[in-house]
Amino acid sequence: MAEKSPAADVEAGLLAHLNSAGEVPDSRSFASSLGVSHLELVGVIKSLSAFRIVESKDIIKEAWVLTEEAKGYVAKGSPEAQLVAAIPPEGVSKDALKAKLGDAFDVGMKAAARNKWIGFEKGNKDLVLRKVESVMDELQEQLRRLENGEAVPDKVIDDLKRRKLITKEKSIWHSLKKGPEFVLKRKTLATDVTTEHLRSGDWKDLEFKDYNYGAQGQPIAKGYVQPLMEVREAIENIFIMMGFTEMPTNNFVESSFWNFDALFQPQQHPARDSHDTFFLNAPATTQQLPEDYLEKVKLVHQSGGYGSKGYVYDWKRDEAEKNLLRTHTTAVSTRMLYKLAQEKPFAPKRYYSIDRVFRNEAVDRTHLAEFHQIEGLICDYGLTLGDLIGVLEDFFSSLGMSKLRFKPAYNPYTEPSMEIFSYHDGLKKWVEVGNSGMFRPEMLLPMGLPEGVNVIAWGLSLERPTMILYGIDNIRDLFGPKVDFNLIKSNPLCRLGL
Ligand code: PHE
């Protein structure tokens, strides 16, 4: 049963008034006649209109309201009037006036001088004299009129606006009349059958509130999965369905050797600059490198082999030993391929990884200094570019991207290389979704992989498809310290495309 509350009194008052007078032309003055705030009355009006007990029409008006400063002038007089009132018949020094008037001094001096209410003694600019007996405080009067809702000439309004004494505010109030379901007293509808109702038997006569099938359910107090993790899992499942095995990616710190050199990336390549890569201060270098293999990598850079001329430069071990935060998960793929090459006899493999990489990039709406990379590779005899295209089509169509285009590209470690574009139906354009290629013999043969074994591989970021799927256009809303927990909680369970 509803308890008697102030709102119930307001409701009773409003309904009684409508019953006798038939209408309330202005909810604001009605609220003050009841002695309640307008806001309180509006709450009651909303609830009564929902049941069509009253019919409410909005009245929207823009009106000038006084600023805090102006309200002070209404109470204490305009600065110019305050100033004149503070001048004794014998005059007063500027400093003394300033001390008395505070903030109002400067404005008051100017306006009073303009009105010729004050003057100065000859030869003594510091002594302020009063030149009128009493003043008519026009400003105070105008402000008072505005406050009472009386008409004020436009010229005055312009003047008050310029002095920042008034601002325009939108106010909404309501006119009310009886609605089709009007009653003097609302019946309280029961929402539940209680033990009390059953015992007394009055449940038979109760009127029950209708079920609201449109109401939202209780939010469930549970953990929520970050969108990146949702998409990561979906992609993992695709890899697993396609027969791929996950690679161990649990080393953010990598040596330049595995991140670059083993990938046939020359030591003077711009990506190896500190502008693009985060190098470690401590430990700055790595000592554990596979010596035999390192020697082969050195030779292929310096003088080639396996049908290649190499880059023809002086390869430096120091450079290869530098520790860094891995710039791509291809470093992991390289380690895995090297490991695979050591296992005899050779067995074909399909590997994938999804983990974090780091780049020394300027952070903006689409770039972060750390992000996640998805990478897949297949290592087998006789693979061709056609196999790569086929696998990419399988993989991306499982992601909901079935219209693909490929563009020739360059990576130091793949030849040929292709950028992957997908047509996005929502954005109505082709967007770049990944990079791919066939690993070069200069990379694979020094590892000891048999002749005739090829590796097709591709990589993409996890953030990019996630942003597209969730309609997020600033990467910082998705990943990093600015992510809003509510975004994570309110993400749709179903997404189009994946
Ligand atoms: N390592 C590449 C990148 O960081 C992606 C890639 C992986 C390209 C495998 C080709 C083959 O963009």
- Burial string for 241-265 (b: 16+ CB within 10 Å, else e) reads eeebeebebeeeebbbbbbbbbbbb
Q: Which residue has the tokens 């490929």?
A: 406
> Rounded distance, CA 496 to CA 18, Å?
52
The Cα 251–Cα 244 span in angstroms is 20
Its pTM surpasses 0.95: no
Does residue 372's CB lie within 6 angstroms of at least one atom of ligand 1? no
Distance CA 284, CA 491 (A): 42
State the distance from the centre of ligand 1 to the C-alpha of 458, rounded, in angstroms. 6
Q: 380 pairs with which residues across the strands? A: 454
Whether 411 lines ligand 1, by a CB cut-off of 6 Å, is yes
Considering only CA atoms, which of 446, 456, 362, 363 is closest in space to residue 411? 456
To test the pocket of ligand 1, the residue of 411, 418, 420 to mutate (highest count of ligand atoms within 8 Å of its CB) is 411
Longest dimension (CA), the chain: 114
Task: Starting at the earlier edge strand, list the strands of the sheet with 23-24.
Answer: 23-24, 166-178, 54-66
- What are the pLDDT digits (tens) for 329-345? 999 999 999 999 999 99
Encoded tokens for 232: 């990561």
Between the CA of 390 and the centroid of ligand 1 the distance, in Å, is 18
Measure 180 CA to ligand 1 centroid, in angstroms. Answer: 70
Phi, psi angles (nearest 5°) of residue 254: -140, 160
pLDDT, one tens digit per residue, over 142-170 is 999 888 878 889 999 998 999 899 999 88
Q: Cα of 361 to ligand 1 centre, how many Å?
A: 17
Which atom of ligand 1 is least distant from the CA of 333? 9
Look up residue 330 and give its two tokens. 């291809």
Whole-angstrom Cα distance, residue 325 to residue 358?
Answer: 6
**Looking up tokens 């007293």, which residue turns up?**
185
| C-alpha 228 chain-centroid distance | 15
3-state SS class at 112: helix
* Contact (Cβ atoms closer than 8 angstroms) between residue 369 and residue 363: yes
**What Rg value do the Cα atoms of the chain yield, rounded?**
40
3-state secondary structure at position 318: helix
Residues 6+ apart with CB under 8 A from 269: 260, 412
Residue type, 91: G
Structural domains of the chain, ranges and CATH numbers in brackets:
6-65+169-196 (3.30.1370.240), 68-161 (1.10.10), 228-490 (3.30.930.10)
Instruction: Say which DSSP state 345 is in.
Output: S
Strand partners, 419: 407, 435
**Best of 326, 359, 375 to mutate for ligand 1, by most ligand atoms within 8 A of CB?**
375
Look up residue 215 and give its amino acid: A
Regarding the beta carbon of 328 and ligand 1, being less than 6 Å apart is answered: yes
Considering only CA atoms, which residue is closest to atom 5 of ligand 1?
A: 459
d(CA 79, CA 110): 10
Q: What is the pLDDT along the chain (498 residues), one digit of tens a residue?
A: 444 567 889 999 999 999 999 999 999 889 989 999 889 999 999 999 998 999 999 999 888 889 999 999 999 999 999 999 999 988 898 898 999 888 889 989 999 989 899 988 787 888 898 888 888 999 999 999 888 878 889 999 998 999 899 999 888 899 999 999 999 998 878 888 999 999 999 889 888 888 889 998 888 888 888 999 999 999 999 999 999 999 999 999 999 999 999 999 999 998 898 889 999 999 999 989 999 999 999 999 999 999 999 999 999 999 999 999 999 999 999 999 999 999 999 999 999 999 999 999 888 888 889 999 999 999 999 999 999 999 999 999 998 888 999 999 999 999 999 999 998 877 788 989 899 999 999 999 999 999 999 999 999 999 988 888 888 888 999 998 888 888 888 877 776 665
Where do runs of H (alpha helix) occur along 402-484? 441-444, 463-470
Nearest ligand 1 atom to alpha carbon 435: 8
Q: Which atom of ligand 1 lies closest to the CA of 329?
A: 1
Q: Which helix (H) or strand (E) holds 168?
A: strand 166-178
How far apart are the two ends of the chain, measured CA to CA in Å? 50
